């Protein structure tokens, strides 16, 4: 894409999410869409992290663990230590990144289905820990997280706005935009190429002097940072966190979002999350057939478009 076309695309995207969508919502009166779209934005950030681990050749079905961890870190910091919500966002991300380094060092040696299985278990371990640890307050979770502890004046005070949902919408899409901008830069820089070399052949990568253990841990830490950050905002938006806030099903969805959008495209997780989230909700009408139809559609899509929805664009170009 040429530079000018890229500027047009970015501008169009910004106008769409920051102006057009809020106007449409105001006109249609469907205020619930603020919550829905904030969720999509946050979930797509967590999925972007999963996508990055795919990029180094690892199937990550454990992002739910970090989303849950980030959520609890933020909730506990706000409730028990009176830390400003704004500070808890980076802190939750960093906490998850550090935890993922400790966890990643041993498990990132595993490949393929072995790594996938361990990460799947990780989500369940996180849930059980949240049930068992005293700080997380067990099954009843942490609730009524106040929205009024925002001390920083640089950023809008949520309570001052007529509808905190709108504030969370702007916060979520702003974070999502930043996240995907950084991901885009990362993937198109030499770091992205190094990640790709790991995905394609780790032995060859180390034979040309790449410290594969280091790159794997860095990618996984960035991934977990995004998961923790998304979890923290999500918890603030819902003002509560429970051990079941993020479960194995969520971890699987993060992965499916990447598949659906396309593993070869950095914006794949964003589109995948949007389509999957709305697709699932639309299928709600079908009642008890919801899961059946959903699964059949997913399988069909993977057969028809193994490289994801975004491959539709390149397919047309190749013809």
Q: Which residues bind another protein (CB under 8 A)?
A: 185-186, 189-191, 193-194, 196-197, 200-201, 203-204, 206-213, 218
CB nearer to another protein: give 43 or 215.
215
CA 165/CA 29 separation, integer angstroms: 13
Cβ 147 vs Cβ 158: under 8 Å: yes
241 bridge partner residues: 142
At 48, list the tokens: 């972007």
CB nearer to another protein: give 240 or 307.
307
As measured in angstroms, the least distance from the Cβ of 53 to another protein is 17
User: Token match 């190749």: residue?
Assistant: 318
CB nearer to another protein: give 59 or 198.
198
CB nearer to another protein: give 212 or 230.
212
As measured in angstroms, the least distance from the Cβ of 174 to another protein is 21
As measured in angstroms, the least distance from the Cβ of 90 to another protein is 18
Cβ 195 vs Cβ 52: under 8 Å: yes
As measured in angstroms, the least distance from the Cβ of 313 to another protein is 18
CB nearer to another protein: give 149 or 210.
210
Closest CA to 280 of 290, 270, 269, 292: 290
As measured in angstroms, the least distance from the Cβ of 196 to another protein is 7
Cβ 74 vs Cβ 85: under 8 Å: yes
Helix (H) or strand (E) holding 167, with range, is helix 164-188
At 51, list the tokens: 């996508």
């Amino acid at each position: 894409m040429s530079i000018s076309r890229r500027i047009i695309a970015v501008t169009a995207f910004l106008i769409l999410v920051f102006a057009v969508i809020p106007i449409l919502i105001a006109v249609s009166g469907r205020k619930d869409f603020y919550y829905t779209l904030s969720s999509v934005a946050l979930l797509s950030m967590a999925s972007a992290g999963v996508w990055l681990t795919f990029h180094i050749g690892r199937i990550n079905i454990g992002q739910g663990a970090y989303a849950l961890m980030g959520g609890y870190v933020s909730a506990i910091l706000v409730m028990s230590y009176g830390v400003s919500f704004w500070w808890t966002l980076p802190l939750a991300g960093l906490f998850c990144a550090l935890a993922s380094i400790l966890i990643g060092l041993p498990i990132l040696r595993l490949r393929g289905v072995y790594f996938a299985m361990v990460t799947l278990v990780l989500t369940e371990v996180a849930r059980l820990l949240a049930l068992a640890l005293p700080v997380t307050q067990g099954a009843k979770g942490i609730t009524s997280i106040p929205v009024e502890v925002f001390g920083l004046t640089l950023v809008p005070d949520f309570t001052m706005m007529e509808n905190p949902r709108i504030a969370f919408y702007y916060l979520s899409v702003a974070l999502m935009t930043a996240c995907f901008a950084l991901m885009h830069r990362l993937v198109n820089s030499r770091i992205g190429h190094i990640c790709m070399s790991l995905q394609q052949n780790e032995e060859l990568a180390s034979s040309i002097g790449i410290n594969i253990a280091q790159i794997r841990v860095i990618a996984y830490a960035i991934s977990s940072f995004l998961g923790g950050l998304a979890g923290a905002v999500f918890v603030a938006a819902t003002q509560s966190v429970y051990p079941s806030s993020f479960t194995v099903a969520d971890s699987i969805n993060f992965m499916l979002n990447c598949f659906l959008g396309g593993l070869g495209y950095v914006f794949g997780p964003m589109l995948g999350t949007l389509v999957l989230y709305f697709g699932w909700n639309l299928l709600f009408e079908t009642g008890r057939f919801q899961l059946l139809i959903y699964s059949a559609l997913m399988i069909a899509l993977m057969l028809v478009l193994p490289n994801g929805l975004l491959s539709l664009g390149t397919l047309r170009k190749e013809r």
